[in-house]
Chains A and B, each alone.
Chain A
Amino acid sequence: MKHLRSIDELGLDGLNKLLQLTDHMAEINQRPVPKVPALRGRTVASLFFEDSTRTRLSFETAAKRLSADTMTFNVSTSSVNKGESLRDTVATITDMGVDAFVVRHKSVGIPWQISAWTTASIINAGDGAHQHPTQALVDCYTIREATHAQNFAGMKVTIVGDIKHSRVARSNIQAFSMLGAKVTLVAPPTLLPPDISHWPVDVSHDLDEVLAESDVLYMLRLQSERMAQGHVPTLREYSEQYGLTQKRVMGLRSNAIVMHPGPMNRGVEMQIDPSDVKNSLIHRQVANGVSVRMAVLFELLGSGSNLGGQA
């Protein structure tokens, strides 16, 4: 595996392989000294053109636990502000000797464009509304951890919110479906792409209708600018229709799990404190983020050397 850019490219075998590898990484993270020398001498550059807390910090932590060197590119203090092009920026960092770029960009397709300009591996940490494959890996791993299910056959996953602008949704729909889950999207038609008849999903505009059927309720973040763009009349109205309220939590099955990729918009899609939700996996999602990203880095950059030993 050279790059991780989309779930599609990864495929079911790649997905399963990374999930298995994540188990090893989770074990390492349980150790008193959670660090191994697997990627000693390797350099991972973070290229984040968009803000991030979780993804960026978990990648950096993952790289360090595998003993890779990290390089952090800060757009606001870089020569990008002097007008340096993306291609020149990538070429410059490549010249310094890096083995992988972890890239987040507001524009769709940047990870693929960059792959043509560097010999390093590319990990897509989010490109526009297109793909966020490591988030999907995190979510699949987290569901597996909670349900002990090797595959998701028969599992009903409901994804609620701004599907149209969500890279998390696009990656997760592919990953959940690949593993056998039945995915239902719940959103007003304005927050769904115009034509999804070819996606392996059911669609509903009524959250209460599908709530009791769901094994997994996956809430997406609603950005406040969607109101200005006329996708929803008001956040209050959206919240009423599609937000997770105390009442809706009561309507969930007793073993149903609740997830959110973060960052949460409290009071919008989450009208309830997640700590008040019995089966919320939101903290597990964050915790597993490090293990999953260790697995990805090891798969792309490791030479098959063993994961044992101490750094």
Chain B
Amino acid sequence: MSDSIVIKNATIINRTSQLVADVKIENGFVAEVGKNLKGDTLLDASGCIVSSGFVDLHAHLREPGKEEAETIETGSRAGALGGYTALVAMPNTDPPQDSVAVIDFVREQGKRAGLVDVVPSGCITLGRHGESLAPMAELAQAGVTLFTDDGNGVQDAALMRRALEYAKGLGVTLAQHCEVAELTKGAVMNECRCCTDLGLPGWPAIAEELMVFRDIELVRITGASMHFLHLSTKRSVELVRAGKRDGLPITAEVTPHHLSLTEELLSSYNPVFKVNPPLRSTSDIQALKAGLLDGTIDAIATDHAPHPRRDKEMSLDMAPPGMLGLETALGVVLAEGACEIRDIVALMSWNPAKIARIDKAHGCDVAVGNKANLCVFDPELTWSIDINRLASKSVNTPYLGRTLRGRVRHTIFNGLPTVIDGQAQR
């Protein structure tokens, strides 16, 4: 029999209950919930929340291909520190995740690191080129449930329709990065007054909204289920809200940075603020927050996108888009104060686990017999980033110098602590 761990005096947040108790973990499962529990390792959690571990629907782990920026191991560690127990790995690797061999490799590297469940997503189209379908059935047999060409939207409407039809037969979900490419050529930031002043080509909201609209209508005629990645505009939220009202099988996510940062930051000329879709306006942020509250948006996903320093030292137009997110997501979202803690657990754990179809092991209530994938966090603790102590291999965080609120204290993955008192254990 393995050693037992007891989380002491935490406020347990479950779907229909909330109580202060101890949680005993044994053999990878929650063994007991109650008062004054004893065990081999005691983890203090006074004043903290214990919930199911977070699930990120959108992490770029960069392996294989760009290990200079991140590896599956370093990304997993960053995830564990952020309270995550599962990460959906985006497929824009090199080679891309469009073959069983690459999918298996990513999953195996995840197991080798052993810090979170690494859940590889598959490409919709071969090479993410938007020309022909990836072998979705083979990939589905290899366990892929979420398909996306993230970084690229599938531009060809007929091909997207085929992909949705094909996906329906396989019972898998397609996730779209909504961007009509003709409207965003050379785009660096949101099309706005600030972009006018800077003389930069703009990334207009309509480029996202047109594809959101198109895909909602394609879902309507195909009946396939569809997830919208990193929504960033007010109209996108309205379109998804209307689609859900019609009962369509659609879900949507928003990133912490689109909830907290605005377009004006680009006037610092610092490419750390360049991201795709771009940072938008305050009114977009308000609409996204409203979407979180009324259930239009199902999940908060990081779009964790590490880039090596030298890439982010290029000019605004040449630097690649993307920013770190895994280690700061909770602290950013709580600092924004957009929703209740219970909502945050739903948005960061329960709902994404369901969308990724890993809800047997993740996003489960903290209850006897359930897999012990747990996150313990202090919702009040304020902190700021120490760039020298990031677990990620890259440092392109936009939150330097900002005060974040809420920090992960312990993370339990498969019954074992990956993080204790904010320190990674492996």
How does the 8 Å CB contact mask read for A163-189 relative to B, with 1 for contact and 0 for none? 001110010000000000000000000
Could you tell me if B192 and A105 are in contact, using CB atoms closer than 8 angstroms? no
Tell me the count of chain A residues lying within 8 A, CB to CB, of chain B: 26
Tell me the count of chain B residues lying within 8 A, CB to CB, of chain A: 22
Which residues of chain A in 126-150 are interfacial with respect to chain B, using CB atoms and an 8 Å cutoff?
A: 128-131
* A194 CA / B203 CA spacing, docked (Å): 11
Select from chain B the residue with minimum beta-carbon distance to A197: B193
Which of A109-117, A209-217, A263-271, A285-293 lies at the binding interface?
Answer: A109-117
Known contacts: A112-B269, A195-B192. The answer to whether A107 contacts B318 by CB under 8 A is yes
Which residues of chain A in 95-110 are interfacial with respect to chain B, using CB atoms and an 8 Å cutoff?
A: 105-110
* A85 CA / B269 CA spacing, docked (Å): 17
Tell me if B102 counts as interface (CB < 8 A to partner A): no
> A269 to chain B: closest CB distance in Å?
19
Tell me if B132 counts as interface (CB < 8 A to partner A): no
Could you tell me if B198 and A130 are in contact, using CB atoms closer than 8 angstroms? yes
Within the complex, which residue of B191, B192, B199, B202 is in contact with A130, where a contact is CB–CB below 8 Å? B199
Tell me if B283 counts as interface (CB < 8 A to partner A): no
* A167 CA / B199 CA spacing, docked (Å): 7
Query: A31 — which chain B residues lie within 8 A by C-beta?
Result: none
Tell me if A196 counts as interface (CB < 8 A to partner B): yes
Query: A107 — which chain B residues lie within 8 A by C-beta?
Result: 315-318
Select from chain A the residue with minimum beta-carbon distance to B311: A85
Tell me if B310 counts as interface (CB < 8 A to partner A): yes
Could you tell me if A113 and B315 are in contact, using CB atoms closer than 8 angstroms? yes
Could you tell me if B200 and A108 are in contact, using CB atoms closer than 8 angstroms? yes
* Chain A interface, >50% SS class: loop
Could you tell me if B197 and A87 are in contact, using CB atoms closer than 8 angstroms? no
Could you tell me if B315 and A108 are in contact, using CB atoms closer than 8 angstroms? yes
Query: A128 — which chain B residues lie within 8 A by C-beta?
Result: 199-200, 317
* A255 CA / B148 CA spacing, docked (Å): 64
> B273 to chain A: closest CB distance in Å?
11
Query: B313 — which chain A residues lie within 8 A by C-beta?
Result: 85-87, 113
> A130 to chain B: closest CB distance in Å?
4
Tell me if A233 counts as interface (CB < 8 A to partner B): no
Tell me if B204 counts as interface (CB < 8 A to partner A): yes
Query: A197 — which chain B residues lie within 8 A by C-beta?
Result: 193
> B233 to chain A: closest CB distance in Å?
15
Query: B268 — which chain A residues lie within 8 A by C-beta?
Result: 112
> B320 to chain A: closest CB distance in Å?
14
> B236 to chain A: closest CB distance in Å?
19
Could you tell me if A86 and B193 are in contact, using CB atoms closer than 8 angstroms? no
Query: A82 — which chain B residues lie within 8 A by C-beta?
Result: none
Select from chain B the residue with minimum beta-carbon distance to A85: B310
* Chain B interface, >50% SS class: loop
Within the complex, which residue of A85, A109, A170 is in contact with B316, where a contact is CB–CB below 8 Å? A109
Select from chain A the residue with minimum beta-carbon distance to B196: A193
Select from chain A the residue with minimum beta-carbon distance to B270: A113
Tell me if A198 counts as interface (CB < 8 A to partner B): yes
Could you tell me if B204 and A108 are in contact, using CB atoms closer than 8 angstroms? no
Query: A195 — which chain B residues lie within 8 A by C-beta?
Result: 191-193, 196
Query: B310 — which chain A residues lie within 8 A by C-beta?
Result: 85, 87
Query: B170 — which chain A residues lie within 8 A by C-beta?
Result: none
Query: B191 — which chain A residues lie within 8 A by C-beta?
Result: 194-195
Tell me if B381 counts as interface (CB < 8 A to partner A): no
* A109 CA / B314 CA spacing, docked (Å): 10
* A196 CA / B198 CA spacing, docked (Å): 12
Query: B316 — which chain A residues lie within 8 A by C-beta?
Result: 107-109
Q: Which 7 A-B pairs have the closest CB atoms?
A: A129-B199, A109-B269, A107-B315, A193-B196, A130-B199, A112-B269, A107-B317
Interface CB pairs A-B, < 8 A, 25: A86-B314, A87-B313, A105-B315, A107-B315, A107-B318, A108-B198, A108-B199, A108-B269, A108-B316, A109-B315, A109-B316, A110-B315, A113-B315, A128-B200, A128-B317, A129-B200, A130-B199, A130-B200, A165-B199, A193-B196, A194-B202, A195-B192, A195-B196, A197-B193, A198-B193
> What 15 additional pairs, Cβ within 8 angstroms, besides A107-B316, A110-B315?
A85-B314, A86-B313, A105-B315, A106-B317, A108-B200, A108-B317, A112-B269, A113-B315, A128-B199, A130-B200, A131-B199, A170-B199, A194-B196, A194-B204, A195-B192
